[in-house]
């Protein structure tokens, strides 16, 4: 028997689970409370695990209990192993009842209130016993949710080149940016508007540190127009849409937020040239992770919802 096989034979799933709990809690005492067991039991599990692999897995620091480099390596494999087991159980559940299951999705707020809502609406009508767990995160932390296997997939925007070779991209459609106002805005009656004409209007835009905030600044810069004084800065898309509906405010949005889930008659696209490339929208998954049947079904439904926009792309 190979040394690696002997180690695997001696390791217990429970001990690996205990290690993960201790690292997450940064304390054996806290991990014992979370697992409803005693601290000596936790210490014994860690000792047996270290004896099985032959190296020290944990060390005490000022911040609490931290994994050694060996602990990090074992945890990485442990996370994948437990995730594979969960995926296998979910596959069995789906095979036993193909009309039920759960899919976990992460995306940003604007996609959650537009394209993702449209996909969930379509899928839930066809499969009413499938449940959806949606995690809303800013773009910077979306990939971490997937890499940590907290979600099955990402619905992501503006991903560019994926630097992480573990990730796979399924591109769905290109989403142009538009200048928008309320249906009652006097600007909607114009056939052509220069961005410079709108600088002194009340604007509601994403904060500058937000991805959409960066896009807005680039739009004004590329148009040779000073960035306007923003009346309301918020990353919450629904708040900006509510302000637009008053007819007083203007904003910049991806076009898809006005298309999904069923259109927004209270908001109108203004005839303003926006010098910004369309933002690609797609689904990102882990390359070596077998998606659950429900996750694959979600991807199929997302492609169907995206068809009208993907045709425009071609």
Q: What is the pLDDT along the chain (314 residues), one digit of tens a residue?
A: 444 444 455 667 787 778 888 888 888 888 888 888 888 888 888 888 888 888 888 888 888 888 888 888 887 777 677 667 676 776 777 666 667 788 999 998 889 989 999 999 999 999 998 999 999 987 767 888 888 888 999 999 876 555 567 788 889 999 999 999 999 999 999 999 999 999 999 999 999 888 889 999 999 999 999 999 999 999 999 999 999 999 999 999 999 988 887 778 889 999 999 999 998 999 999 888 888 889 999 999 999 999 988 765 44
Q: How many CB atoms lie within 10 A of CB 300?
A: 9
Give the whole-angstrom CA distance, residue 212 versus residue 199.
18
User: Rounded to an integer, what distance in angstroms lies between the CA atom of residue 182 and that of residue 201?
Assistant: 13
Asked whether the beta carbons of 168 and 255 are under 8 A apart, the reply is: no
Q: Which residues pair with 261 in a beta bridge?
A: none
The dihedrals phi and psi of 277, each to the nearest 5 degrees, come to -65, 150
What is the set of domains in the chain, with CATH numbers? 3-78 (1.10.10.10), 97-173+279-313 (3.40.190.10), 177-269 (3.40.190.10)
Q: Is the pTM of this model over 0.75?
A: no
Q: How far is the CA of 299 from the CAs of 32, 66, 119, 170, 262, in angstroms?
A: 39, 38, 9, 9, 20
Among all chains, which residue has been given the structure tokens 């810069």? 221
Q: Are 87 and 151 in contact (CB under 8 A)?
A: no
Task: Tell me which residue has tokens 């099985």.
Answer: 52
Q: In degrees rounded to 5, what are phi and psi of residue 13?
A: -60, -40
């Amino acid at each position: 028997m190979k040394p690696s096989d002997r180690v695997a034979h001696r390791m217990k799933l429970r001990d690996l689970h205990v290690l993960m709990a201790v690292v997450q809690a940064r304390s054996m005492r806290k991990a014992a409370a979370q697992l409803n067991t005693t601290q000596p039991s936790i210490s014994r599990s860690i000792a047996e695990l270290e004896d099985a692999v032959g190296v020290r897995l944990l060390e005490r620091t000022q911040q609490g209990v931290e994994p050694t480099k060996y602990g990090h390596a074992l945890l990485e494999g442990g996370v994948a192993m437990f995730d594979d087991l969960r995926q296998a159980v979910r596959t069995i559940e789906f095979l036993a009842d193909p009309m039920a299951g759960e899919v976990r999705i992460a995306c940003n707020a604007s996609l959650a209130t537009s394209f993702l809502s449209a996909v969930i609406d379509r899928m839930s009508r066809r499969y009413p016993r499938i449940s959806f767990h949606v995690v809303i995160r800013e773009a910077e932390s979306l990939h971490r949710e997937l890499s940590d296997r907290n979600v099955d997939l990402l619905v992501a925007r503006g991903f560019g080149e994926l630097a992480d070779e573990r990730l796979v991209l399924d591109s769905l459609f290109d989403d142009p940016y538009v200048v928008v106002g309320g249906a009652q805005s006097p600007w909607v009656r114009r056939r052509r508007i220069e961005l410079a004409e709108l600088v002194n209007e009340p604007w509601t835009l994403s904060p500058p540190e937000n991805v959409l905030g960066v896009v807005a600044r680039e739009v004004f810069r590329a148009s040779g127009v000073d960035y306007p004084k923003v009346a309301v800065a918020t990353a919450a898309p629904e708040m900006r849409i509510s302000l637009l509906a008053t007819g007083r405010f203007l904003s910049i949005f991806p076009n898809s937020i006005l298309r999904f889930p069923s259109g927004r008659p209270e908001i109108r696209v203004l005839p303003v040239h926006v010098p910004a490339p369309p933002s690609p929208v797609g689904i990102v998954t882990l390359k070596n992770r077998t998606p659950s049947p429900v996750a694959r079904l979600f991807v199929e439904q997302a492609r169907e919802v995206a068809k009208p926009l993907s045709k425009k792309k071609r």
